[in-house]
């Protein structure tokens, strides 16, 4: 498998939670899984939809990488424990966890349904807590520390009418910083990526007009949308030895969208 550069990941074991994508598209998790495998990691691709995880594994194996798939429910402690045990059983250790999970919802606190609020928090925050809770002991047991990347959003930095989502992704940043403090002595680095307007299957699967895409492009000072590969490369960097002295940080990958202009409209997640 092509390995562009030695990033200290050869022979390491990674779990990418949310590593499937709809159809043949390249979402953030799928891109991260492929890039980690290209760098020499053995990757367990976990997703709520097993077929989507298997499709990612097929892409990795076709290029000569090592990967396997499993179904996982991040809101279940038992499922997260099984996911970690699966990785360790298959590959003998665990070094990397990419918590690429999240759902969205529109509306203010007045408009938001209470049950939907609780479900969103369960997926977006509790899911990362549970996956990390079970992954960290396995990383410590492996003896070389590890790296965790949590996926937040620029919504945490610039709210725009997605209040529940914004709150959950703000909690992800706080969780990242707290975990970095707690587990730095164990040699485990914990960082966060905050994507901006990236064009992925999760975004376009429900349909998107060219007018909306134009607005998304205009939100970036670079005048273009990002892709899953942009987020995947950020994850790859933060998991690699090139980021060995970086922890507790949030890497914003948004083409400059958060540094200029007014907040984007509510339909541009």
Phi/psi of residue 157, each to 5°? -100, -25
**Alpha carbons 41 and 80: distance in angstroms, whole number:** 20
Which H/E stretch holds residue 179? Answer: helix 163-183
Residues making up the chain, counted from first to last: 269
204-209: list long-range contacts, CB under 8 Å, 24+ apart: 204/25, 205/22, 205/25
Identify the three-state secondary structure at position 64. Answer: coil
Asked if 202 and 47 count as a contact pair (C-beta separation under 8 A), the reply is no
Give residue 264's region: left, alpha or beta (phi > 0; psi -120 to 50): beta
**Alpha carbons 240 and 199: distance in angstroms, whole number:** 25
**Alpha carbons 176 and 188: distance in angstroms, whole number:** 12
DSSP codes of every residue in 231-258: HHHHHHHHHSGGGTT--S-EEEESTTGG
Burial of 232 (0-12, 13-18, 19+ CB in 10 A): buried
Q: Rounded to an integer, what is the distance from CA 22 to the centroid of its chain?
A: 15
Number of other residues whose CB lies within 10 A of the CB of residue 91:
20
**Alpha carbons 178 and 51: distance in angstroms, whole number:** 34
Catalytic residue among 91, 165, 204, 245: 165
Specify whether 199 is catalytic. Answer: no
Which residues are tagged catalytic?
165
């Amino acid at each position: 498998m092509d390995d562009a550069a030695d990033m200290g990941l050869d022979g390491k074991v990674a779990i990418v939670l949310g590593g499937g994508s709809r159809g043949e598209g390249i979402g953030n998790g799928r891109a991260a899984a492929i890039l980690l495998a290209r760098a020499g990691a053995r990757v367990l691709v976990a997703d709520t939809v097993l077929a989507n995880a298997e499709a990612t594994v097929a892409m990795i194996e076709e290029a000569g990488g090592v990967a396997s798939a499993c179904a996982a429910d991040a809101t279940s402690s038992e499922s997260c424990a099984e996911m970690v045990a699966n990785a360790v059983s298959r590959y003998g250790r665990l070094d990397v966890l990419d918590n690429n999970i999240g759902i969205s919802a529109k509306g203010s606190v007045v408009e938001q349904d209470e049950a939907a609020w609780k479900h969103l928090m369960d997926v977006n925050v509790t899911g990362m807590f549970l996956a990390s809770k079970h992954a960290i002991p396995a990383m410590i047991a492996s003896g070389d520390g590890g790296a965790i990347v949590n996926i937040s959003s620029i919504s945490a930095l610039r709210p725009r009418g997605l209040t529940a989502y914004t709150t959950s992704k703000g909690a992800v940043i706080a969780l990242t910083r707290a975990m970095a403090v707690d587990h730095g002595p164990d040699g485990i680095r914990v960082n966060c990526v905050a994507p901006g307007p990236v064009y992925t299957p999760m975004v376009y699967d429900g349909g998107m007009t060219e007018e909306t895409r134009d607005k998304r492009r205009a939100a970036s000072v670079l005048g273009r949308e990002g892709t899953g590969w942009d987020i995947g490369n950020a994850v790859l960097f933060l998991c690699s030895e090139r980021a060995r002295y970086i922890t507790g940080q949030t890497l914003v990958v948004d083409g400059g969208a958060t540094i200029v202009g007014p907040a984007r409209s509510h339909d541009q997640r």
